[in-house]
Amino acid sequence: MQIPCPWCGLRPLDEFAYGGDATKKRPTGKRQADTSAWVDYVYIHDNPAGRHREYWQHVGGCRSWIVITRDTTNHAISKAELAPPDSRGGRR
Amino acid sequence: MRYSLSSIIRNAATGHKHWPKVWRNPEPKKSYDVIIVGGGGHGLATAHYLARNHGVTNVAVLEKGYLGNGNIGRNTTIVRSNYLCPENSQFYEHSLKLWEGLSQDLNYNVMLSQRGALNVFHTPAQRDAAIRRGNAFSLNGIDSVLVSREDVKKLAPLVDCSPNARFPVLGGLLQPRGGSVRHDAVVWGFARAADMRGVDVIQNCEVTGFRIEKGQVRGVETSRGAISARKVGIVVAGRSTLVAQMAGLKLPIESHVLQCFVTEPVKPVLDTVVMFAAAHFSIVQSDKGGLVFNGDLDGYNSYAQRGNMSVVSGVAECAASLMPRLSRLRLLRHWGGINDMTPDGSPFITKTPVKGLFFNGGWCYGGFKGTPASGWTFAHLIANDEPHPFASGFTLSRFETGNVINENGAGPQPGKH
Amino acid sequence: MSGQSNRLPSGGLIDRTRVISFTFDGRTYSGHPGDTLASALIASGIHLVGRSFKYHRPRGIYSSGSEEPSALVTLGEGGRTEPNIPATMVEIFDGLVARSQNRWPSLSFDLMAVNSLLKPFFPAGFYYKTFMWPRSFWYRLYEPAIRRAAGLGTVAELPDPDSYEHAHAHCDVLIVGAGPAGLMAAQAAARAGARVVLADERAVAGGHLAGESIEIDGRQCADWAQDLYAELSELENVRLLPRTSVFGRYDGLTFGAIERVSDHIGADTPNLPRQRRWTIQAKQLICAAGAIERPLVFEGNDRPGVMLARAARNYLNQYGALPGRNVVVAANNDDAYLTARDFVDAGADVTVIDGRPQEIVTGSALLADGVDVRFEQCIAQARGKMHVSSVRLASVDGTGESEIGLPCDLVCVSGGWNPTIHLLSHCGGRPRWNERIASFTMGKLENDVQAVGGAAGTFDLQKSLHEGVAAGVSAAKACGAKPSRTVTAPSVDKLPSYGVQALWRALDSVSKSGAAFVDFQNDVTVADLEVAEREGFGHSEHAKRYTTLGMATDQGKLANVNAIGILSELLGTPIAETGTTTYRPLYTPAALGTLAGQRQGHEFRATRHSAMHAWHEKNGAVFTDAGLWLRPYYYPREGEDFAAAVKREVLNVRSAVGMVDVSTLGKIELKGPDAGTFLDRLYINSFSKMKVGRARYGVMLREDGMVFDDGTVTRLAEDHYFVTVTTANASPVMQHMEFCHQVHWPELDVQFCSVSEAWAAMAVAGPKARDTLERIVQGIDLSNEAFPLQSVANAKIGDAFVRVFRISFSGELAYELYTPANCGLGVWEAIMEAGAQDGISAYGTEAMTVMRTEKGHVAGPELDGRTTADDLSLGRMMSERKDYIGRWLAARSGLVGEGRIQLVGIKPVNVGDRFRMGAHLVNAPGAIGPDVSHGHVTTSVYSPACDHFIGLALLKNGRNRIGERIFVASPLHQEIVEVEVTHPVFVDERGERMRG
């Protein structure tokens, strides 16, 4: 498998580390979020047979975390982008 | 027909023309007491024990394709019970005890071969971790022996025990009762035994939906029509997420590909199962002579039942380095199984939020060795609506409370276990 | 030496001017350059080459390629012993040693052949029905016997002395197979300007053309192929890989291949690897892998002397070796008539048995009048013990009389051809039944994949050549090449059409289906398939598993399609519904050593050394592995054992001064106005308010609330931090930080970088540490007042820049010094010299463990991924005033309530007792059960300060049990020791020494 890094181009699988489901938003806010939101975020991941949005890091290259869209039934990659922010933090 | 010495001789004399079908090929009925979704090892074991232990025989096992086409036929066939967490160790020890009597119970030789399972360690830190585990096994009544480097040499002469090895061997932890089983025979034996007790084992019958009314399961939709039942068990490791989704369940499971490898057959050269702490690598020689091994997960979600080349070279590096005499032995074939990976590395045998719907899955690396106990405890859960004490920790709710069963200490990413 | 009795006087691609001698089973034979072991044995009149797996039936050479199921030999000796190699793929060289396998005592007299007498008891699946009574006999008797019978060859007794390497190739177009279609495709793609890799598993290019007597463009086809290959070798944009088997296709047109670099040379080749593993990355694949001929299934079809029809003429034409003089050619297609013609031309007596009706046969036109051709007939049985001596014929429909005894010494069979589509289905493509050719071909291929020639089911040479050209051009275009010179396919002899008509087995009431083999190597017969079908294992996947069909070293290349055909007859279902055949890598087996490449032996994994490694070595350090690092474990002096050395090292630190190499720590440098905020969110404690010039211990959690890592966080400037992380977590922590920054909090203005390798680090500890350092550290006042605990400053030692941190893991007055890696050794030596008068000595990781245990500091064994900060008595560090990774899930009921394991100390009740790490804590000796263990000893050391063993332990509700007496049990060692539960700090509880 080769992964198209948005910075480095098509690079071999061995240069990348997997980071899992990229559809989740990390719970934010200053109050104690309820536990089930955190359980959902940490433990319940998207696991489709088909297109999967997932994090990868180009550890053996530019070190960017990227999000790729990959079909889990045949490993074909249809999209790759730099990882967008998963929360609307803003400067605090 | 029961298999016995006399039936063998009788059939040999008549050219084996009179062996009956090993299981019937029934049409699905309209209704059953229990439907088991999934005709793999665990599903068939569940049906067998439902009938044998609980007298529940009005049972259908529904299999999408042919029996045993999933992970039961795609593993390295190793059995052992040396698990650290108490929930796991009592479960897998029960499983090993069932393995030990399974051929007799099923009247089908599953070719259990208890030649020992050896964990080799290389550093003082790995030794200390092995001692911790070994003592945990011993205190749970599981056989466990700490062995020296000299013993490793004797038990597995293939292993490079020289001080010049990149990771010199320090010693090992042996479970003498560990070993291997002929995996396909497990499917066929359970299917035959369940069938003989009246269970309908139905192939080519894909479940396409669940009928749920007011939070109670009423049956399933299949490619061969609707079938009703007030109790339904899902046992489809490898496709758990997809099947559970049809019942509206979201599971803490990721599907990952684990590759297995077999070499050309050679004369006996490795008696025990050997696992190495230097790398995620285990190896066993089959009764046909092939060396069977596996390594790491490929590491990304997959349903493709095949992996990539970095794992291929990775296991070859382990084999050639840890057992240098294997360098010229040739790898014959490799294939992938889809592992249900969970956030703590332990399985689920549990009720679900839907009444009458039960779930069994999330087996990570333990699916094959857990087959009999999985069937035993899942049958208990389905028959009694109460978890079996040996599987009571395997709930979906353990992540809410934090009472996880974390066998190797890795974080909540399923692929890291 | 035996003569080459079956060598023709001329012809073939062998160099008759040179003679090569080799041995087989200890006898010396001769051949010529260009010969394979198989062709040389045939030329020498040898037919019996091996024994089958189960029944030990005598077997000969069945094919001329990598699909060979029978003629497997062991090559080489000692560490070069190589089992299960097909003789058909071995190029001979002077001194080659080959042996037959799976026989005892000898190949021609194999006592294990007794197995075949028990055949009535050994149908498919017999294991599962038997060997169960009495129960104990299984593991005492039956199973060991089954195991002993396993396997074919034997693995080497010694490690492999040869070397291997791994190479990468990138290309536009990968062409697999240098036969007619592959050669044309390569020429067309290359001339269009594409970068081409052309791989073929054989030594000689041309595919089957190397063994045909056909004219192309008016020349012998083998010469045509050689010339074209030579032309390609001149092109800069073409890489030719002969002797290279492309064994697997992986995602995204990544291919694995094995090149046999020097196997065929034989002599010592110190500058060449034995084999090379290629990773080939292509943009387009053209599969031109040809096709594999199918056996015919009849009783005795495994006898030596029965051979695939094209293989037979291959031996004749390519090697000038005559495998028989009295030849029966049995077929269901027209290709086999070329074999008949070539054998007639070579002077053999030939009879053709064709299963088809005469009206559809075209091949017979090739034969001169007078050649005996019989239509609608098949072989029912081949006879002869060690070599075929006659065949019995029958009509194909199973009716009518059979003819007895047609004498022969060679039976050439052709049951049709199976396209070699393995590579095309490795990535999930499903083969489909193709009625036209009575075999499986691929359905629709992906856009970047093409199949041509035999691999596409095209069995017409002229058409194959055209397909090759077209595929080469279109692949090159798809890669952006602009064809300028056109390539046209040459014209060839008019050859008979293929005209296959499926013939799955001889239907003959007299023959025994128990000796009609479908899978030769694994001895799977028609009778086995019948038993499987009868018992309900008729699904092709069940039948394969039940009978072991297709699982031999040839992976069913010859057997699978015939088996599906036979099953479809048994089941009465059309083939398309009976099943298909899926192919998994590897196409041909590959040596583990080759797959490993250079990463084996000492190069299995990198070995990491710190900058001071040479000093450690010179000073007698015993090393221990820590991940990839080698770290000094202890430094024994003359006459000291482990315990004595460690004790001395500890006492020296506690009484004078010692130094330890801590370079393996992970180090991360952070800069930016938000660096402090960033760290606050990562660690359970706060750093944004820490003063510049200060250092503090920090702990971070995983998202699930468990402790992830610990280390020191230092503030070097308002916007500049430096953190250390544990050796094991150096890279996971860095990835975690990058994820947090890039994904969670990209709004934070912070940059960071791993500097683990850039800095050498050492800790100088002991009451005289200050004295030592004051002599050489320039630029800071090290006095307690000016530089108290947790201070940080830049300084110099000689010309070397150093960062000096006053922090202590040992509990003594201590400093950590960080210096650029290239200064590490110099600084270390300077400190050693400066401390000589204070009695400085180096200490290793074990002494460090002893001292951290005495101080109750946690490390790897306690941070095992299952412990919370509170379990480790670090709960008070968990800030209530900020959000940080893991905060909320750490508060779950199961992680805070009653029954958690907690960090405690333990000491023996009887001071002389010792206990060990990994022992468990129990209330009473002897009990067994799931609740017996209350925790375990994470660390245990002999404490010189206490003069007895001490330990750290994780004990259920431990903090409430201080003062209790319990037991430490190590059933593995049959040890049980009574201990007292204590606070986890054994030395200097108030921390005065490190503040002094």
How high is the pLDDT of residue B104?
A: 94
- For C217-226, what is the mean pLDDT? 95
The answer to whether the Cβ–Cβ distance between C889 and A39 falls below 8 Å is yes
* Pair B195, B54 in one domain: yes
The answer to whether the Cβ–Cβ distance between A90 and C250 falls below 8 Å is no
How high is the pLDDT of residue C1?
A: 57
* Pair B249, B267 in one domain: no
Structural domain ending residue among the three candidates B308, B341, B374: B341
CATH code assigned at B382? 3.50.50.60
- C410 - beta bridge partners? C327
Phi, psi torsion values for C358, nearest 5 degrees: -55, -35
Least confident of A56-60, C595-599, C660-664, C880-884: C880-884
> Is B160 part of a structural domain of the chain?
yes
* Pair B150, B73 in one domain: no
Nearest one of C846, C850, C984, C978 to C914, comparing CA atoms: C978
Q: Tens digit of pLDDT for each residue in C141-153?
A: 888 888 888 888 9
Report the C-alpha gap between B7 and C972 in whole angstroms.
47
Sequence ranges of chain C with CATH classification 3.30.70.1400: 666-755+872-879
Reported ipTM: the value is: 0.96
Nearest to B324 among C120, C150, C159 (CB): C159
> Is B2 part of a structural domain of the chain?
no
* Pair B355, B394 in one domain: yes
Residue B306 pLDDT > 60: yes
Residue A36 pLDDT > 90: no
* Pair B201, B261 in one domain: no
Which residue in chain C is spatially nearest to B101 when comparing CA positions? C135
Nearest one of C210, C206, C184 to C196, comparing CA atoms: C184
- C284 - beta bridge partners? C173
Q: Which residues of C touch A87 (CB under 8 A)?
A: 744-745
Cβ contacts from A onto C, under 8 A: 72
- In CATH, which of 3.40.50.2300, 2.40.30.110, 3.50.50.60, 1.10.357.10 is domain C898-995? 2.40.30.110
Report the C-alpha gap between C72 and C51 in whole angstroms.
9
Cα B171 to Cα B129, B167, C705, distances in angstroms: 12, 12, 34
Residue A92 pLDDT > 60: no
Residue C267 pLDDT > 80: no
The answer to whether the Cβ–Cβ distance between B264 and C83 falls below 8 Å is yes
Q: Which of residues 21-50 of A touch C (CB under 8 A)?
A: 26-27, 30, 32-33, 35, 38-39, 41-43
- In CATH, which of 1.10.510.10, 3.30.2270.10, 3.30.460.80, 3.90.1170.20 is domain A2-82? 3.30.2270.10
- In CATH, which of 1.10.8.640, 3.50.50.60, 3.10.20.440, 3.40.50.300 is domain C20-112? 3.10.20.440
Q: Looking at the 3D structure of chain B, how many domains does it have?
A: 2
* Pair B260, B334 in one domain: yes
User: Domain range holding B217?
Assistant: 29-78+84-93+100-105+183-253+344-416
B250 CB within 8 Å of a chain A CB:
yes
* Pair B191, B159 in one domain: no
Q: What is the DSSP string of B94-109?
A: HHHHHHHHHHHHHTS-
How high is the pLDDT of residue C65?
A: 97
Give residue C376's identity as a one-letter amino acid code: E
- Per the document, the length of chain A is 92
B100–chain C nearest CA distance, Å: 10
Sequence ranges of chain C with CATH classification 2.40.30.110: 898-995
Structure-block tokens of residue C548: 């072991």
Residue C788 pLDDT > 80: yes
Q: Is the dihedral of CA B398, B399, B401, B406 positive or negative?
A: positive
How high is the pLDDT of residue C438?
A: 96
C930 CB within 8 Å of a chain B CB:
yes
- For C191-212, what is the mean pLDDT? 97
- The domain locations on chain A are 2-82
Q: Which of A2, A30, A68 would you mutate first to test chain C, the one with the most C CBs within 10 A?
A: A2
Beta strands B291-301 and C326-331 are unpaired
Identify the burial level of B14 via C-beta atoms within 10 angstroms of its C-beta, where 0-12 means exposed, 13-18 middle and 19 or more buried.
exposed
* Pair B261, B323 in one domain: yes
Q: Which residues of A touch C888 (CB under 8 A)?
A: 27, 32-33, 35, 38
Please indicate whether residue B175 or residue C108 has the higher confidence score (pLDDT).
B175
* Pair B370, B394 in one domain: yes
How high is the pLDDT of residue A32?
A: 59
The answer to whether the Cβ–Cβ distance between A1 and B308 falls below 8 Å is yes
How high is the pLDDT of residue C405?
A: 87
Residue appearing with tokens 């299934």: C297
Share of residues in chain B with pLDDT > 90 (%): 91
Structural domain ending residue among the three candidates B309, B341, B373: B341
B208–chain A nearest CA distance, Å: 15
Res. A29 pLDDT band, cuts 50 70 90 = low
- Per the document, the length of chain B is 417
Please indicate whether residue C845 or residue C583 has the higher confidence score (pLDDT).
C845
What average pLDDT does the structure give for chain A?
A: 89
How high is the pLDDT of residue B240?
A: 98
Nearest to C251 among A64, A65, A75 (CB): A75
- For C568-579, what is the mean pLDDT? 92
The answer to whether the Cβ–Cβ distance between A18 and B253 falls below 8 Å is no
Res. A33 pLDDT band, cuts 50 70 90 = low
Least confident of A15-29, C628-642, C979-993: A15-29
CATH code at C666-755+872-879: 3.30.70.1400
Report the C-alpha gap between C219 and C224 in whole angstroms.
6
How high is the pLDDT of residue C513?
A: 80
Report the C-alpha gap between C955 and C952 in whole angstroms.
9
Res. C2 pLDDT band, cuts 50 70 90 = low
- In CATH, which of 3.40.50.1980, 3.40.640.10, 3.30.1360.120, 1.10.530.10 is domain C606-665+757-866? 3.30.1360.120
Which residue in chain B is spatially nearest to C626 when comparing CA positions? B123
Nearest to C739 among A12, A19, A75 (CB): A19
Report the C-alpha gap between C187 and C382 in whole angstroms.
45
C606 CB within 8 Å of a chain B CB:
no
Res. B374 pLDDT band, cuts 50 70 90 = very high
Res. C3 pLDDT band, cuts 50 70 90 = confident
Residue C159 pLDDT > 90: yes
Structural domain ending residue among the three candidates B341, B360, B376: B341
Residue ranges of alpha helices (H) inside C535-655 are: 540-547, 560-571, 575-578, 592-596, 613-618, 642-655
Share of residues in chain A with pLDDT > 70 (%): 88
Residue C692 pLDDT > 60: yes
How high is the pLDDT of residue A30?
A: 55
**Chains that contact B by 3+ CB pairs under 8 Å?**
A, C
Q: Which of A35, A47, A55 would you mutate first to test chain B, the one with the most B CBs within 10 A?
A: A47
Q: Tens digit of pLDDT for each residue in C65-86?
A: 999 999 999 999 999 999 999 9
C741 CB within 8 Å of a chain B CB:
no
Q: Tens digit of pLDDT for each residue in B53-87?
A: 999 999 999 999 999 999 999 999 999 999 999 99
Give chain A's end-to-end CA distance (angstroms, integer): 41
Does domain C164-291+420-478 fall under CATH 3.50.50.60? My reply is yes
Residue C231 pLDDT > 70: yes
Q: Which residues of A touch C251 (CB under 8 A)?
A: 1-2, 13, 74-76
Structure-block tokens of residue C499: 């005209």
Which residue in chain C is spatially nearest to A38 when comparing CA positions? C889
Sequence ranges of chain C with CATH classification 3.10.20.440: 20-112
Report the C-alpha gap between C23 and C716 in whole angstroms.
74
> Is B210 part of a structural domain of the chain?
yes
- For C135-163, what is the mean pLDDT? 87
As a 3-state breakdown, chain A gives helix, strand, coil percent values, each rounded to 5, of 15, 35, 50
Res. A89 pLDDT band, cuts 50 70 90 = very low
Q: Tens digit of pLDDT for each residue in B255-290?
A: 999 999 999 999 999 999 999 988 889 999 998 999
CATH code assigned at B325? 3.30.9.10
Res. C775 pLDDT band, cuts 50 70 90 = very high
Give residue B313's identity as a one-letter amino acid code: S
Q: Which residues of C touch A55 (CB under 8 A)?
A: 739, 743
Phi, psi torsion values for C698, nearest 5 degrees: -135, 150
